[in-house]
Amino acid sequence: MTRAFLVVMDSVGIGGAPDAGEFFNDGIPDTGANTLAHIAQACADGRARDGRSGPLVLPNMTRLGLGAAVRLASGAAVPGLEADPDGFWAAATETSPGKDTPSGHWELAGLPVPWDWHYFPDTENSFPADLVRFVADAAGTDGILGNCHAPGTAIIERLGGRHMRSGWPICYTSADSVFQIAAHEDAFGLDRLLALCAAIAPRLHGMRVGRVIARPFTGGPDAGFTRTPNRRDFAITPPAPVLTNWVQDAGRAVHGIGKIGDIFSMQGIDTSVKGPDAVLMEHLFERVDNAADGSLTFANFVEFDSLYGHRRDISGYARALEWFDAELGRLLPRLRDGDLLVLTADHGNDPSWTGTDHTRERVPVLIAGQGAGSAGLVGFADVAASVAGHLGVPAQGPGRSFL
C-alpha cells in the first residue's frame, strides 16, 4: 500500500487560462495575468530586490517541471526556470465559475462547483441593508463598520481604532464570494468573533456565498495592527463526496494541513492542524515521516496568496517561493518508495497585476514518485482521480487519472 501527499501552493498560477477574459480586477480582464512568469521576469530584471536579489531560484520545482508547465500553459518565458525537468508534470485548467479558494480546492478534489457563486459587486455599501441589520443583531451592536471591498490589512489599519472604540465588527468583501469579519482578539474577543461568524454563516451559505471568514487581529492605533494566525473559514459544505470522502470511506486516514479542514467543513478529514506556513511545513515533514500506509495528507500553504499576492508584493512572493523550494529539497529525500507527492495550486494571484484580487490562471501539477514525463494539459478534477487511483480508491466525478 502507498501514501499520497497533495500540496496546494495557494495562488501559484502559471497563466494561460482560456477564459481569463471573463474574470476581472478593477474592471480589467485577467487576460495575460501570469503569477509565476511575471515574478520570474521581475526577478531577472532586478525589480524584486527587497530581502533577496538576482533571478528567481527554484531548482527543485524546476526539476519537477515548473518551468515546463508555465511554458505549456501560457507560452511565457520563465527566466531562471529553463532547465529540462526530470519529474512528472502537467498544467491544469479549471472549469468552475470562480477564481477563489473553494472553487479551486473543490475541483482539485474532484467536484467542479455546480452553481454560480453569489458576489457583492458594489465596492461601497456592498451588503444589502437587511444583511447588515442581521449581522449587527447577531453581533449585539447597533451597526457594522466597513461594508465595502477592501484588502484585509488595509481595512484594519483604517478602521481598527474606530472598531476598538465602538465595538462594531469590521465587515468587508472582495471580488471573491466571501463575507469577511475582522475584529480585535482582546477588545472584541476571539471566541465572540468565531461565534458571530458561525451564527451568520448559514444565511450567507443559503445565498451561495462561498465563505464567511473570521479575521482576528491584535495591536492598537499607535503601534499598528497585526492579523493573527487564528483566522477561520466557515465554508459551504461540498454538496457531493470529494477526494477526502472517497479516501476516508475506503477506511484510510485523511490528514488536513492548513485551511483544508475549513475549506471542506471537515468532510472526510480525520485530523487537522493550522498555523503559519513555517509551522505547517513542519507538520508536513511530520506526516511524511509518520503517516500510515494508504493515507492521504492534503495541505494548503496560504501565505503566497494572503501575504504577497493580495498585497501585490513581488519581492515577498519571490522570497516565499524560494523558501518553499528549499524546504522541498529537504522533503523529497524523506519520501518512501511508492509515495506520491503532488504540488499544485488553486488559482493565480499575480502580484504584478492591477487590483488586489485573485487572477484566473492555469496551475502547475508537479509530481514526485512517478518517474519522468508529462501528462500535458489536464483538468483540475483529474488531480483527484489520479490521487485516488494511486491509493487504489474508487473515484467519483468527472476526473480521469493521468498517471
Binding residue ranges for Mn(2+) = 10, 305, 310, 346-347, 358
Angle between helices 35-44 and 314-331 (to 10 degrees): 100
Q: Are 155 and 130 in contact (CB under 8 A)?
A: no
Q: Rounded to an integer, what distance in angstroms lies between the CA atom of residue 312 and that of residue 322?
A: 17
List 184's β-bridge partners, or say none.
Answer: 217
Q: Rounded to an integer, what distance in angstroms lies between the CA atom of residue 185 and that of residue 218?
A: 6
Q: What is the CA radius of gyration of the chain?
A: 20
Containing 319, the helix (H) or strand (E) segment is helix 314-331
Q: Rounded to an integer, what distance in angstroms lies between the CA atom of residue 73 and that of residue 378?
A: 10
Q: Please give the single-letter amino acid code of residue 326.
A: A
Q: Please give the single-letter amino acid code of residue 131.
A: L
Contacting residues for 12 by C-beta, under 8 A, at least 6 apart = 35, 36, 304, 321, 345, 348, 363, 364
Phi and psi, residue 46, nearest 5°: 80, 20
Contacting residues for 270 by C-beta, under 8 A, at least 6 apart = 248, 253, 254, 255
- Give the three-state DSSP class for 81: coil
Contacting residues for 278 by C-beta, under 8 A, at least 6 apart = none
Burial of 183: CB neighbours in 10 Å, binned 0-12, 13-18, 19+? buried
Which residues are known binding-site members? 10, 305, 310, 346-347, 358
163 closest CA partner among 140, 146, 180: 146
